[in-house]
Amino acid sequence: MSGEIEKTVVDKARAAREAARALASATSAAKDRALGAMAEMLSGNAAEILDANAVDVEGARGAGSPAAFVDRLTLTEARVEKTAQGLREVIALPDPVGRVIDGWRRPNGLEIRKVRVPLGVVGIIYESRPDVTVDAAGLCLKAGNAVVLRGGSEAIESNKALVRVIRTAVESAGLPRDAVQLIETTDRAAALKMMKLNGLIDVLIPRGGAALIQRVIENATVPVIETGVGNCHVYVDRAADLAMAREIVFNAKCQRPGVCNAMETLLVHGAVADKFLPEMAKRLTDAGVELRGCERTRELVPQAKEATEEDFHAEFLSLILAVKVVDSLDEAIAHIGKYGTMHSEAIVTKDYGAGRMFVEQVDAAAVYINASTRFTDGYQYGLGAEIGISTQKLHARGPMGLEELTTYKWVVYGDGQVRT
């Protein structure tokens, strides 16, 4: 049984690799045509997709899944239309493939070129979010990659319907339908096999919660791009503009608490804590935020619960905020170094030196002076759509757009050079 599942996974990855060869030399025009067909056919087949989705939603409800989970799983005509619109936006983005990144001539006459090429076959392991199926397929295709999708089991019927439509659309544009593969078995063995297909899958991108990402990191031998877990901090310096700090803190926590670039811990310099914290705490509490503070915080903010060590490590993804009063910029930086996940970190300060030191010493994908952590996002940076936010240091850091779905190749032109 498990052997059969593994064979299916290998067969799909092999078909993807074959398709990747054709995609690597596909023109931008052909890829954009495929994206356009995908968008059109998703809209045109919305009824079929929604029927399949209804089966998944019913299953999830029957299994007693939480409302937020069911919401992420649910497609509506408007949501299908939104994914189609997303594909149309990808068409408008420049094709990263073929760009000469660098180049020079060597003394012996060799012409050296560093040229952007697709990664090849990208594996995406994600949770039960059908919109990711469309996004990932679209972005991978535009960057010239074949994709092997392995979504959460609760979304399997939706994913099957979506991928059926997508593959038909790709083929209608003259590209190989095998460029988009869905692992249809929901058995764990399939995901495990996928993680070890070195040579067939070039890179794995897990998208989802900390547990999913951890599972991939621990089991994969294929190179992984770690994404998403964000224990982000805002540090209100002693030299902060406190009014500005209040807006940034409120925005970083409350504007959309369920996402990875939302603030999870607030750090406040002791010299401004009494001026800043009580009023800030009231505004947060009024907005429904539960505060969990260190001892000094709780002296100033009676409504705050006691923060545990675990709270400072937590990615709450909800209206909970850990708060700590620190005695110095150094202490703030050390706290972030110990508890942060190298995602997004912000300082609010008017002090040039403090800002400079924070930027230099905080080791994170994105570091902000006087702005909300919520900006770590491909669209907000002006990169266009993103496939995820990398929290590792290899290959890509922060928002990963089309360029991050490519690699490069050295192309060397000679006229008979040999090495002496």
Task: Tell me the closest approach of the beta carbon of residue 327 to a second copy, in angstroms.
Answer: 19
**Interface with a second copy, residue 366, by CB under 8 A:** yes
Site for a second copy, residues 201 to 220, rule: CB under 8 A = 202-203, 217-218
Out of 8, 65, 285, 392, the only residue in the binding site for a second copy (CB under 8 A) is 392
Q: For residue 177, how many other CB atoms are within 10 A of its CB?
A: 18
Out of 304, 398, 400, 401, the only residue in the binding site for a second copy (CB under 8 A) is 398
Q: Is 34 or 203 the residue whose CB approaches a second copy more closely?
A: 203
CA-nearest of 380, 401, 400, 377 to 90 is 401
**Interface with a second copy, residue 112, by CB under 8 A:** yes
Q: Is 130 or 176 the residue whose CB approaches a second copy more closely?
A: 176
Query: What's the Cα-to-Cα distance from 256 to each of 231, 249, 398, rounded to whole Å?
Result: 14, 12, 18
- Long-range CB pairs of 174-177 (<8 Å, 24+ gap) are 174/30, 174/33, 174/34, 175/19, 175/22, 175/23, 175/26, 175/30, 175/31, 175/34, 175/141, 176/18, 176/19, 176/22, 176/23, 177/19
**Interface with a second copy, residue 419, by CB under 8 A:** yes
State whether the Cα torsion 73-137-34-172 is positive or negative: negative
**Interface with a second copy, residue 27, by CB under 8 A:** no
Task: Tell me the closest approach of the beta carbon of residue 160 to a second copy, in angstroms.
Answer: 29
- The DSSP bridge partners found for residue 105 are 111
Among the listed ranges 44-52, 59-67, 242-250, 265-273, the one in contact with a second copy (CB under 8 A) is: 242-250
Among the listed ranges 123-131, 290-298, 301-309, 395-403, the one in contact with a second copy (CB under 8 A) is: 395-403
**Interface with a second copy, residue 381, by CB under 8 A:** yes
CB 72, CB 129: distance < 8 Å: yes
Span between the terminal Cα atoms of the chain, in Å? 56
CB 5, CB 189: distance < 8 Å: yes
Q: How many residues bind a second copy (CB under 8 A)?
A: 68
Task: Tell me the closest approach of the beta carbon of residue 318 to a second copy, in angstroms.
Answer: 18
Across 229-282, the runs of DSSP E, i.e. the strands, are: 232-236, 263-269
CA-nearest of 359, 412, 403, 413 to 118 is 403
- CA angle 296–301–305, rounded 5-degree value: 85
**Interface with a second copy, residue 395, by CB under 8 A:** yes
CA-nearest of 213, 248, 255 to 233 is 248
Among the listed ranges 77-85, 117-125, 185-193, 264-272, the one in contact with a second copy (CB under 8 A) is: 117-125
**Interface with a second copy, residue 276, by CB under 8 A:** no
Out of 63, 68, 287, 394, the only residue in the binding site for a second copy (CB under 8 A) is 394
Out of 251, 265, 297, 349, the only residue in the binding site for a second copy (CB under 8 A) is 251
**Interface with a second copy, residue 332, by CB under 8 A:** no
Out of 376, 391, 400, 402, the only residue in the binding site for a second copy (CB under 8 A) is 376
Out of 210, 317, 320, 369, the only residue in the binding site for a second copy (CB under 8 A) is 369
The edge-to-edge listing of strands for the beta sheet with 180-182 is 180-182, 146-150, 121-126, 203-207
**Interface with a second copy, residue 364, by CB under 8 A:** yes
Backbone angles phi, psi at 114, to 5 degrees: -110, 110
Task: Tell me the closest approach of the beta carbon of residue 310 to a second copy, in angstroms.
Answer: 17
**Interface with a second copy, residue 63, by CB under 8 A:** no
**Interface with a second copy, residue 337, by CB under 8 A:** yes
Give the integer Cα–Cα distance in Å for 376 and 345. 10
**Interface with a second copy, residue 161, by CB under 8 A:** no
Query: What's the Cα-to-Cα distance from 309 to each of 114, 211, 259, 292, 335, rounded to whole Å?
Result: 47, 19, 22, 11, 12
Give the integer Cα–Cα distance in Å for 99 and 95. 9
Out of 247, 274, 279, 295, the only residue in the binding site for a second copy (CB under 8 A) is 247
Q: Rule CB under 8 A: which residues touch a second copy?
A: 21, 24-25, 104, 106, 110, 112, 117, 119-120, 198, 202-203, 217-218, 221, 223-226, 241, 244, 247-248, 250-252, 255, 337, 359-361, 363-372, 374-376, 380-382, 392-395, 397-398, 407-420
